[in-house]
A and B are shown apart, each in its own frame.
Chain A
Amino acid sequence: MKRQLLAAVFGGLFTVVVNAAEYNISVDRVQIDTGDFVKEGIGYNGASPGPVLRFKEGEEVTINVTNNLDEMTSIHWHGLILPFEQDGVPGISFPGIKPGETFTYQFPIVQAGTYWFHSHSGFQEPNGAYGAIVIEPEGREPFRYDREYVVQLTDKHPHSGDRIMRNLKMSADYYNRQQQTASDFFAESSKKGFMAALQDRMMWGDMRMMKADIEDVQGFTGLINGKGPEQNWTGLFEPGERIRLRFINSSAMTYFDIRIPGLEMTVVQADGNNVQPVNVDEFRIGVAETYDVIVRIKDEKAYTIFAESMGRSGFARGTLAPEEGMTAEVPELREAPLLTMSDMGGHMDHGDMSDDDMADMNGDDMAGMDHSAMGHDSMDQGDGASMPADPFYAKGSGLIPTASNGGKFLSYADLKAQNPLYEDREPTREIELRLTGNMERYEWSINGTKYEDADPIVLQYGERVRFKFVNETMMTHPMHLHGMWSILDVGEGKWNPLKHVISVAPATTVYMETEVDAPGEWAFHCHLSYHAASGMFRKIVVEGGPDTTMAEGTQNGQQGGES
C-alpha cells in the first residue's frame, strides 16, 4: 500500500511527458484523492489520470502495456486512426490483456491533435484508467500560441463503476438527486392549476422519465487533470501570452459547460481536427469529445476555468494564473435545467400514451428536423435576432445552452472543417439508428435491440455511409464510432467537420457520414459508460478492402460489450 501511494504521488508530479517513439505503460491500482474523498481506483504508470502521451504525426509508435491488475485490461486509443487489431476493444479488436501480461501495441501516427486513451474493459475507465494524447503535426498549425495545457475533465464518483451499474439497474433514479418533489408539484399546480400539473406529472410518469433526468449519475466530484475544485489545478502564464487549452472530457457520464469568466475563447479544434476558428464565451463538451481553444491573457491576474455539469449537479474548477497560488472568483452553479415536452419528441416507444396525447405535446415536430437544410439561414430560428436557437436541440428543449454572460455559446452548427480531409460526395446509402431505451429498467439500445441480441452492422470498404441518428430517448447520447471519422452534417457540405463523437440531444435527428476506409471490426457505441454497458453498443464489420485476410482472421472473437 505504501509503495502504491508513493508511486501515485511520484506519478502525479512527473506524469508529464514521455518523448521517444517507444512507450511503456503500466496499468496499476492507485489512490485517487479528489479533495472530497479518497478512492481506490485504476491508473497508468501509478497515477490517475495517466501520462500525457506526446506523439508526432508520421512516426511509428510502440507502446508496451503491462497489466499489473488481477483482472483483464485493455487500452483504446480514442480517436486515433489505426489498424483495427490495435484499437484495444476486447472481443472486437483483440482478446484483451491478461493479468501480469505485457501487450505491445504498434501503429503509425497518421493524424495530429488532441485525443485520449482509456481502458475499454469493464468500468476501469470510470474508475480512473484514462490519459491524454497530444500529437504534434508534421506541418505548421493554422494558429499559434505561446504555451499549451491539457485540461482533462472527469466526473469522479465515490462509488465504483460496478456498484453504480448495479444501483442503476436496481433503480434508474438511484443517483438522481434533482427529482422534483411534492412541494415542487404544489408550486407548479398553484402556477398552472392542479389538473394541468397533475396531467403533466402523469405524462412524464408514463415516459418512465422525469424532467430532471439530465444526469443519470450525480454525486460526483469534477476533476481537472486529476484535481478537485479545492485542489485547484493551475496553469501558469506570462501576461500577453496566447495559451492553447486542450480540453478533453474523460467523464463516465457528464457533459460540461465550460467558460473562463473574463476571457473569450477561440475554438480551433474539435475532436482533434482543425476547425475554422470560432470565438465563443462558453461551450459544451460532450462525454469523450475534445475541444482545443486559444485564449490571450493580457493582464496580470488569475482566471477561473469553470466547468459546470450540464445538469448543474456538480462542477470542475481550475485556474490560469501568472503565479502559483493566485485565484479568481469561482462562480455559483446556475440553476438546474428541466427537460420540457420538446425533449420527449414524438418517438418514445415505451410509454403507453395514445396517438392523441402524442399529437398534443408534439406540436413542433423537431424530431424530424432536417439538418442538411441548415446553414446561415438557421439564424432565423432564434427568438431574437441576436440569439439564434441552436439547431442541434429540439425547439423549446430545456437543454438549449446559453452563455452565462449573455454572449456566444458554441453550437455544432459553428463547426466547419479548416481543411477538409475528404472530397464531398453523395453517400452510397443511409442507415437509420434509433437511439432507444427503457429508463425504468435502465436498458439502453439501438433500434430497440441491446448489443448482445444484435447482429453487427456490415459496411463495405469504399462506400460512404450516411448514418441517421434518431434520439427517441430523453437523454443526450455521445455516439462514438471507432476506426473511421464521423463527418458531422452541419449543412455546410464540404466544410462539414470531422469528429469521433457525435452528441445527439433528446428528440433530435442528427446525421453523420462515414467514408468506410478502414477494414476490420470496430466498436460503435454511446460513450456514456453505463449506457454502453447496458446495451447501446454495436459491432461494425467492414467487409472488403486491401487487407481482407486479417479481418476474417478474428471473426470468431467473443462479444465485447465492455466500454
Chain B
Amino acid sequence: MNTILKNALLPAIALAVSSGAFAAGEHSGGHHGGNAVGEPGKAEDVSRTIEVTMRDNYYEPESVNVEPGETIRFHVKNEGSLVHEFNIGTAEMHEAHQEEMQMMVEHGVLKGDQINYEMMEMDMGNGHSMKHDDPNSVLLEPGDNKEIIWTFTEAADLEFACNVPGHYQAGMYGDIEFE
C-alpha cells in the first residue's frame, strides 16, 4: 500500500477501533440494564483465577461458570500458531468488533501470526490510535499471555470470543454461564 493511501485510511481505522467493542456493548447490553456485560475489576476483589488456553481456532475450556457479582482473573495464554483474541461481551458486541478487526487485517495491522504493534501505537492525531486496548479484551500473538480482571456485575447473555476475522464463525467462542 502506498504511503499516501495508508495515511488517508488510518484515521478512519483509528476512530473505528478506539470506539471499540466495549463502547458498543454499553449500547447493546440492553435488557439487563446499562452495564450487564460487567466492568473491569480490581485485583483485591478477585475470587479466583480461570486459566484460558487459546488454540487454533478454539479455547480450552469452551465454557466458564461465574456467579453474579463475582470478580474473576482470566489468565489467557496463546498456544496456537495464529493471533487470537479473548473478548468478553454479548454476541452483538462481538459482531460489531469483528468488522473492526476485519479492517485491521485488511490494512495490515493484523497478520496471521503477528500484530503490528508499531502501527497500532501510532498517534493518529485527536488522541486516536489503533491500540486494541479495551479492558474487556486481550489480543495475543502466538506464545504470549496476559490477564484480564473482570467483574460480572449481573447475569447476562455473555460469550468470550475471538473476533479475528473468521475465527468466531469457525467456532472460537465459549459461553459464560451464570450460576
List residues of chain A with CB under 8 Å of any chain B CB. Answer: 140, 142-145, 242, 264, 266-268, 276-279, 294, 296, 376-377, 379-380, 385, 416, 418-419, 492, 495
Contact = CB atoms under 8 A, between A and B. Distances in A.
Interface in B3-59: 5, 9, 55-58
B9, B106, B111, B170 interface centre (most CB from chain A within 10 Å): B170
Given A376-B106, A380-B5, A142 B57 contact: yes
Nearest to A418: B56
Contact of A495 (B2, B5, B55, B112): B112
Interface string B55-84: 111100000000000000000000001100
Q: Which 9 A-B pairs have the closest CB atoms?
A: A277-B166, A144-B171, A143-B170, A266-B169, A277-B170, A376-B108, A142-B57, A142-B56, A143-B171
A377 B6 CA distance: 11
Given A279-B165, A279-B166, A380-B2, A145 B9 contact: no
B58 A140 contact: yes
A268 B56 CA distance: 12
A559 B55 CA distance: 48
Contacts of A268: 170
Contact of A380 (B1, B165, B171): B1
Contact of A266 (B55, B81, B166): B166
A379 B9 CA distance: 12
Given A277-B57, A380-B2, 17 more contacts: A142-B58, A143-B170, A242-B171, A266-B166, A266-B169, A266-B170, A268-B170, A276-B112, A277-B169, A277-B170, A294-B170, A296-B169, A376-B111, A380-B1, A418-B57, A418-B82, A495-B112
Tell me the dominant secondary structure on chain B's binding face: loop
A541 to B, nearest CB: 36
A298 to B, nearest CB: 10
A145 B170 CA distance: 8
A377 B169 contact: no
A297 to B, nearest CB: 13
B167 interface: yes
12 contacts: A142-B57, A143-B57, A144-B58, A266-B166, A267-B166, A268-B170, A276-B166, A376-B1, A376-B108, A377-B1, A380-B1, A419-B81
B58 A379 contact: no
Contacts of B108: 376
Given A276-B82, A276-B112, A277-B166, A294 B171 contact: yes
Given A142-B56, A376-B106, A416 B171 contact: no
Interface string B91-121: 0000000000000001110011000000000
A277 B167 contact: yes
A116 B56 CA distance: 26
Contacts of B2: 380
A376 B112 CA distance: 12
Contacts, number: 60
Contacts of A380: 1-2, 5
Nearest to A145: B171
Contacts of A419: 56, 81
Nearest to B166: A277
Nearest to A268: B170
Contacts of A294: 169-171
Contact of A278 (B9, B58, B106, B165): B165
Contacts of B1: 376-377, 379-380
Nearest to B167: A277
A264 B169 contact: yes
A420 to B, nearest CB: 9
A198 to B, nearest CB: 41
A276 B169 CA distance: 11
B80 to A, nearest CB: 9
A498 to B, nearest CB: 15
Nearest to A385: B9
A382 to B, nearest CB: 11
Contacts of A376: 1, 106-108, 111
A52 to B, nearest CB: 23
Nearest to B105: A376
B84 to A, nearest CB: 11
B9 A142 contact: no
Contacts of B169: 264, 266, 277, 279, 294, 296
Contacts of A385: 9
Among B55, B81, B167, B169, chain A packs the most CB atoms within 10 A around the CB of B169
Nearest to A377: B1
A533 B171 CA distance: 43
A194 B108 CA distance: 48
B47 to A, nearest CB: 30
A296 B57 CA distance: 17
B107 to A, nearest CB: 8
A296 B9 CA distance: 32
A276 B84 CA distance: 12
Contacts of A144: 58, 170-171
Nearest to A265: B169
A140 B172 CA distance: 13
Contacts of B171: 143-145, 242, 294
A17 B75 CA distance: 43
A377 B55 CA distance: 28
Nearest to B102: A279
A278 B112 contact: no
A276 B9 CA distance: 25
Interface string B158-179: 0000000111011100000000
A422 to B, nearest CB: 14
